[in-house]
């Protein structure tokens, strides 16, 4: 079994197309197989799985951890999301650039996001269940974020009036975040 790995415009951020085995009953796929992902160059030790259920129009993000950066492997179990990754690594040639992908239970794709990037998504279907593996544990004292609507980044979110948490509304624009609160390249 092999994976199809597609590069994005951000080095290290990749789209994964797992092998799907469909038949008259439905389908089968492996969400994660350490040896296969290692062979594909994604040799990571995941320590925590998270499940997020959201309704249509919810926008979560853009989040990151600084001292305990989390690589993430994101999958959508039900519904559809618009997933966004932003390079916030100080000194990176891609600093401030972003990439996006539509992930859904229909296309069954995954996205791998290295630590040092901010991540967020918005829900396009009536609801969505998003599951993601992390290489480090969630640390509330190490939680940071970037304002989802930062006009300098001009992310083309496909929702007109997103439902955003109070916490996510208060994050700073990228140019306002102190250097000591950004990962380095």
Q: What residues are labeled active site?
A: 63, 132
Round to whole Å and give the CA distance between 19 and 145.
Answer: 34
148 Cβ contact list (under 8 Å, min separation 6): 59, 61, 62, 120, 155, 157, 162, 164, 168, 171
Judging by beta carbons within 10 Å of its beta carbon (0-12, 13-18, 19+), is residue 43 exposed, middle or buried?
Answer: exposed
Round to whole Å and give the CA distance between 16 and 96.
Answer: 23
5: part of which helix (H) or strand (E)? Answer: strand 4-7
91 Cβ contact list (under 8 Å, min separation 6): 184, 185
- Cβ neighbours around 167 below 10 Å, total: 10
């Amino acid at each position: 079994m092999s994976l199809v790995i597609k590069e994005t415009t951000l080095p290290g951020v990749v789209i994964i197309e797992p092998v799907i085995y469909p038949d008259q009953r439905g389908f089968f796929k492996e969400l994660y197989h350490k040896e296969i992902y290692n062979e594909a160059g994604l040799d990571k030790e995941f320590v925590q799985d998270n499940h997020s259920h959201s309704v249509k129009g919810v926008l979560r993000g853009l989040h990151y951890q600084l001292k305990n950066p989390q690589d993430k492997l994101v999958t959508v179990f039900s519904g559809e999301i618009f997933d966004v990754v932003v390079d916030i690594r100080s000194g990176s040639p891609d600093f401030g650039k972003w990439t996006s992908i539509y992930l859904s239970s229909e296309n069954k794709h995954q996205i791998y996001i290295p630590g040092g990037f901010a991540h967020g998504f918005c829900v396009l279907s009536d609801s969505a269940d998003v599951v993601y593996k992390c290489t480090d544990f969630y640390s509330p004292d190490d939680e940071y974020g970037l304002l989802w609507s930062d006009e300098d980044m001009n992310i083309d979110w496909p929702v007109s009036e997103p439902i955003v948490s109070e916490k996510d509304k208060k994050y700073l624009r990228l140019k306002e975040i102190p250097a000591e609160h950004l990962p380095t390249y």
